[in-house]
Amino acid sequence: MRIAAKSVVALTLILGLAACGSPAEDKAAAGADSVAASPAAAATTAAAAADGRPAAFAQCVACHSTEKGKMGIGPSLAGVYGTKSGEIAGFAFSDAMKNANLTWDDATLDKYLAAPMKMVPGTKMTFAGLTDAAKRKEVIEYIKTLK
């Protein structure tokens, strides 16, 4: 593998890990969302804001695409609003998500984004949660625009 390719792989891993918070980080942030204050996370946040996405959505792009049918570590978020949990074709959802019988509307997304593993125990989404209600609302409003 060439050095440039290794750098891309390393940066991808760093961005993915930087986007994933932990409950300990959330408590330490005292109510702030769990975006790490690393240069990689700052670059991801700046890129998201430049695309018209809310800054808090930078955490989402580490695992989710906004292009319909393009899957990443998580499913594409394009067209997810209004669907049932585990319903997006082309992604291997956990049994927990397939059986959760949730409809992705404002209230459900708000509760889920606050604590995914608490709302759907057994989900593959290991994201600790977005603790700031205003930021969750911004993310939800953006998700609603993804067709």
Domain ranges of the chain: 3-145
* Cα distance between residue 89 and residue 95, in whole Å: 14
Q: What is the pLDDT of residue 15?
A: 41
Structure-block tokens of residue 90: 């082309």
Task: Read off the pTM.
Answer: 0.69
* Cα distance between residue 56 and residue 135, in whole Å: 6
Give the number of C-alpha atoms closer than 13 A to the C-alpha of residue 70, restricted to the C-beta side.
Answer: 10
Q: What is the pLDDT of residue 9?
A: 39
For the cut 70, the answer to whether the pLDDT of residue 102 exceeds it is yes
Backbone torsions φ then ψ of 84, nearest 5 degrees: -90, 150
Smallest Cα–Cα separation from 60: which of 8, 6, 112, 1?
112
- Give yes or no for a contact between 123 and 117, defined as CB atoms under 8 angstroms apart: yes
Query: Per-residue confidence at 142, pLDDT binned at 50, 70, 90?
Result: very high
CATH class of the structural domain 3-145: mainly alpha
Structure-block tokens of residue 5: 């390719």
Tens-place pLDDT, residues 1-52: 444 444 433 434 444 444 444 333 333 333 333 344 456 555 555 555 557 8
* Cα distance between residue 143 and residue 122, in whole Å: 23
Query: Per-residue confidence at 135, pLDDT binned at 50, 70, 90?
Result: very high
Q: How many CB atoms lie within 10 A of CB 83?
A: 14
